[in-house]
Amino acid sequence: MLSKFKCALISLMFAGLILCAGTVSFADAWNEPATVIVQVTAAGSPIGDAEVSVGDQSYTTGHNGNRVFQVGKGHHTVSVTDIHGNSDSREVRVNPGEIVQVTFDLGAAGRPATGDHRQELTFSKN
């Protein structure tokens, strides 16, 4: 009879350990940061050196127009301003461990003018 009692006690302790281990791993997953990838483009081309912020974190984009942020669970404001002053923002909601991509296309206004825009005029006297 003592051996049945020992077996039941050991089984109960083992079940308790499994429950505790599962609770700890769930708690760790709940506190895991989320990833927000911000991409800034203008007319489909990436914009480097745009000021990007998520919550209170602020950085500039690389030459590929991207910046990656690690944030906590919840709602965050994502905003962007390019070197020409064009800006946009939106709200995102993230969960622990989630990866969210936010793309801002600032349109043609986000691209600097390129090429030679001078025009030569020729006048003739008739």
pLDDT tens digits, residue range 3-38? 665 655 566 555 565 555 555 444 455 679 999 999
pLDDT tens digits, residue range 36-94? 999 999 988 999 999 999 999 999 999 999 999 999 999 999 999 998 899 999 999 99
* DSSP of the chain: -HHHHHHHHHHHHHHHHHHHHHHHHHHHHHHPPEEEEEEEEETTEE-TT-EEEETTEEEE--TTSEEEEEE-SEEEEEEEE-TTS-EEEEEEEE-TT-EEEEEEE--GGGSPP-S-----------
Q: Write down all domains in the chain, each with its CATH number in brackets.
A: 32-107 (2.60.40.1120)
How much is the pTM?
0.65
Confidence of residue 113 (pLDDT cuts 50, 70, 90): very low
